[in-house]
């Protein structure tokens, strides 16, 4: 009789433990499927993304600038800042270091040979190209200027397959592209509370994005900017597994089972 009661108690204890694990680790389907509130995908019901999105230049950005022109004889002097002469239609202007490019200083300026200090902070890449082209018209005929970001990158942390820092291949990177580059969110990551940390003009901004809702496309944080940090929070199941709560539940359940068994033995 005692053995039978003991076995029944162990059986029910095992069932309780399994149910506890199930409810702790189970993630509802709606918390996994992206944009699950879409009822209609017609163009009239979705606001289109900003087509002309561009990042603005910030302090401590590193820019790669090339200049060319129809008069090749002028280019060596214009590019004397890095000690490299003209080798064709365009030559690198690297501000003294061809590996690092132009550094946007604390005052927001870059130092261009002959043109002097040029305000770059707050401008887009294309705006700076236009400005430098106008400035260099005094030094060469038909100047052609190209500007590129060298430190164009972002970080992805938290519950993703591969956390780390990633370089932006283009200026038009979305939060979805970033998560894709990081191997997507794991099953233990929250898709309704993606944190994006951004610093603009010395001010740190934080936004929380919900991948389960279509409103994410209207967020100014949908397109990432250089040095953005994306953090994916863990779901409660991951918190429990890290803190060892399921282990404590198991230990307590076994202890209760043994205690009840001892009490039954003493009664009999």
What is the tens place of the pLDDT at every residue in 159-195? 999 999 999 877 788 999 999 999 999 989 999 999 9
Torsion over CA: 102, 104, 107, 112 (sign): positive
The mean per-residue pLDDT over the stretch 19-39 comes to 51
138, 102 in Cβ contact below 8 A?
no
Range with the poorest average pLDDT among 19-23, 52-56, 73-77:
19-23
| Of the listed ranges 48-57, 128-137, 170-179, 193-202, the one predicted with least confidence | 48-57
- The CA distances from residue 70 to 79, 84, 90, 263, in Å, are 15, 18, 10, 98
pTM recorded for the entire structure: 0.60
**Measured in whole angstroms, how far is the alpha carbon of residue 97 from the centre of its chain?**
29
| pLDDT > 70 in the chain, percent | 59
| 164-167 and 144-149 beta bridge pairing | unpaired
3-state secondary structure of 31: helix
Q: Hey, is 213 helix, strand or coil?
A: coil
At 154, the pLDDT band (50, 70, 90 cuts) reads very high
136 or 253: which leads in pLDDT: 136
Q: List pLDDT tens digits, range 77-128.
A: 766 644 333 344 444 444 444 446 788 898 999 988 888 899 999 899 899 9
Under 8 Å between Cβ of 46 and 214: yes
Beta pairing class for 144-149 and 90-93: unpaired
Look at residue 259 in the predicted model and tell me its pLDDT: 59
Tokens of 110: 């870059």
Mean pLDDT calculated for residue range 30-49:
45
Q: Which has the closest alpha carbon to 24: 213, 181, 244?
A: 244
Query: Are residues 61 and 104 in contact, defined by beta-carbon separation less than 8 angstroms?
Result: yes
**pLDDT > 90 in the chain, percent:** 28
């Amino acid at each position: 009789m005692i053995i039978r009661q003991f076995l029944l108690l162990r059986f029910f204890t095992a069932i309780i433990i399994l149910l506890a694990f199930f409810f702790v680790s189970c993630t509802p389907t709606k918390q996994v499927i992206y944009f699950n509130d879409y009822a209609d995908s017609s163009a009239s019901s979705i606001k289109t993304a900003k087509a002309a999105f561009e990042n603005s230049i910030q302090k401590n950005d590193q820019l790669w600038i090339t200049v060319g022109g129809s008069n090749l004889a002028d280019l060596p002097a214009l590019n004397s800042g890095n000690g490299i002469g003209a080798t064709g239609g365009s030559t690198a202007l690297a501000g003294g270091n061809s590996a690092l490019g132009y550094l946007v200083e604390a005052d927001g300026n870059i130092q261009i040979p002959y043109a002097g200090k040029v305000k770059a902070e707050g401008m887009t890449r294309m705006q700076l190209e236009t400005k430098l082209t106008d400035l260099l018209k005094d030094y060469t005929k038909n100047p052609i200027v190209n500007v590129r970001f060298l430190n164009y990158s972002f970080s992805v942390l938290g519950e993703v397959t591969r956390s780390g820092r990633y370089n932006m291949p283009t200026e038009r990177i979305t939060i979805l592209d970033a998560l894709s580059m990081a191997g997507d969110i794991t099953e233990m990551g929250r898709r309704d509370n993606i944190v994006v940390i951004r610093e603009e003009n010395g001010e740190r901004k934080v936004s929380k994005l919900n991948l389960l809702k279509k409103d994410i496309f209207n967020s100014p944080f949908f397109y990432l900017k250089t040095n953005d940090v994306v953090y994916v929070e863990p779901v409660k199941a991951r918190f429990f597994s890290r803190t060892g709560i399921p282990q404590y539940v198991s230990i307590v359940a076994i202890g209760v089972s043994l205690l009840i068994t001892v009490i039954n033995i003493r009664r009999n």
